[in-house]
Copies of this chain bind each other. A is one copy, B any other.
């Protein structure tokens, strides 16, 4: 890796954890230059525009998410177990990565949902991809017979998303130590309601 790539990555590392606290929109070249002990113009040259820097942060976030949340779970056999692993990894991926201030993309989703442009598009695509990935995982749990054949997969993913966001809010805003327990309880209820019926009433 050449010198250029190296510093670019160092900048992204810093930008990533900074964006976690103040949001992707709150990033500023000047502050980032201070934190990385660089000049504004030197840092700027690596991205060409602020927007490109923000996009790079969003892409960085996607990549880390895939590495930390999804990939480890792919080593497990397909089915409910893998889904459980993804959910577990997902719920504490902000601890695993250097994310002092919560998921960057999730925050960006609320920030840019009304501001058309490349940033919104990037966030949207990232979350669409996540939803597809989750849907595929749920679908496999249906195939293995662990979840009912008439499971509404889109609905399942919808509710999973809600559980995640509620958890984030409880943790970050209310400092609720019960957040994780509640999240798992909600998830188990979701699984239970979509499990194969052993005894029909």
Contact = CB atoms under 8 A, between A and B. Distances in A.
A84 interface: no
A5 interface: no
Given A113-B169, A127-B174, 18 more contacts: A22-B114, A23-B111, A25-B26, A101-B113, A101-B114, A102-B114, A110-B169, A120-B173, A127-B169, A154-B182, A158-B170, A161-B162, A161-B170, A162-B164, A162-B166, A165-B165, A189-B193, A193-B193
Contacts of A178: 154
Interface in A9-31: 20-23, 25-26
Contacts of A22: 114-115
A76 interface: no
5 contacts: A107-B111, A128-B174, A158-B166, A161-B166, A161-B170
Interface residues of A, number: 47
Number of copies: 2
Interface of A: 20-23, 25-26, 100-102, 106-107, 109-111, 113-115, 120, 123-124, 127-128, 152, 154-155, 158-159, 161-167, 169-170, 172-174, 178, 182, 185-186, 189, 193, 199, 201
Contact of A165 (B102, B127, B162): B162
